[in-house]
A and B are shown apart, each in its own frame.
Chain A
Amino acid sequence: MAELVHRITAHLLISVTGVAFAAAVGIIIGILLTYAEKLASLVMGAIEVLQTIPSLAMLSILLIFFGLGNTTAIMAIFFYSLLPIVRNTYTGIQSVEPFLIEAGRGMGMNTLQVLLKVQIPNAVPVIVSGLRISLITAYGIVTIAVLVGGGGLGRYVYRGTQTQDMGMLLTGAIPISLMAFLTDLLLNKLEGLLNRRVRTANTPEN
Chain B
Amino acid sequence: MVIFKNVTKTFGRHAVISDMNLEISRGQLAVLIGPSGCGKTTTLKLINRLQDLTSGNIFVDGKDISETNPVELRRSIGYVIQQIGLFPNMTIEQNIEVVPRLLKYPKEKCHERTRELLDMVGMEPSKYLGRYPFELSGGQQQRIGVLRALATSPPLMLMDEPFGALDPITRDSLQDEIKKLQKSLGITIVFVTHDMDEAIKLADVIILMKDGKIVQKAPPEELLANPANGFVREFTGKKRIKANYDLDLVHEIMNPSVVVVTKEKGFAGSLDLMRKRNVDSLVVIDDAGHLEGVITVEALLGAAKRKRIGTIGEVELLKVPTIDQYAQARDAFSIIIEKKLPFLLVVDNNNRLKGIVTKTSVVKALASIVWKDENNE
Chain A residues within 8 Å of B, Cβ to Cβ? 97, 99-100, 102-110, 113, 117-118, 121-122, 124, 196-202, 204-206
Contact = CB atoms under 8 A, between A and B. Distances in A.
Contacts of A201: 86-88, 132-134, 141
A107 B137 contact: no
Contact of B89 (A102, A110, A198): A198
Interface stretch (B165-173, B226-234, B281-289): B165-173
Task: State which size class the interface on B falls in.
Answer: 35 or more
Contacts of A205: 137-138
Contacts of A199: 134
Contact of B74 (A105, A196, A198, A206): A105
B50 interface: yes
Interface string B118-136: 0000000000000011100
Contact of A102 (B71, B85, B149): B85
A190 to B, nearest CB: 14
Nearest to B148: A107
Given A107-B99, A196-B134, A206 B71 contact: no
B336 interface: no
19 contacts: A102-B85, A103-B86, A103-B87, A105-B50, A105-B74, A106-B79, A108-B72, A108-B73, A108-B75, A118-B87, A121-B89, A197-B132, A198-B88, A202-B83, A204-B137, A205-B137, A206-B137, A206-B139, A206-B170
B167 A206 contact: yes
Contacts of B81: 99, 102-103, 106
B234 to A, nearest CB: 31
A48 B83 CA distance: 37
Contact of B102 (A97, A108, A198): A108
Interface of B: 48, 50, 71-76, 79, 81-90, 98-99, 102, 132-134, 137-139, 141-142, 148-149, 158, 165-167, 170
A143 to B, nearest CB: 36
Contacts, number: 97
B74 A108 contact: yes
B322 to A, nearest CB: 26
Nearest to B141: A204
B102 A107 contact: yes
Given A103-B84, A107-B79, A108-B76, 5 more contacts: A99-B81, A99-B82, A107-B74, A107-B102, A197-B133
B134 to A, nearest CB: 4
Nearest to B44: A106
In the complex, which of the residues B81, B84, B87 has the most CB atoms of chain A within 10 Å of its own CB atom?
Answer: B87
Given A103-B81, A106-B48, A206 B87 contact: no
In the complex, which of the residues B76, B132, B142 has the most CB atoms of chain A within 10 Å of its own CB atom?
Answer: B132
Contacts of A105: 50, 74
Those 9 A-B pairs whose CB atoms lie nearest each other, nearest first: A103-B85, A108-B75, A204-B138, A201-B88, A200-B134, A121-B89, A206-B138, A108-B74, A106-B79
Contacts of A103: 79, 81, 83-87
A133 B89 CA distance: 23
A102 B86 CA distance: 11
Contacts of B82: 99
Contacts of A110: 71
Contact of A122 (B89, B134, B137, B142): B89
In the complex, which of the residues B89, B132, B134, B138 has the most CB atoms of chain A within 10 Å of its own CB atom?
Answer: B89
Contacts of A97: 83
Nearest to A201: B88
B87 A100 contact: yes
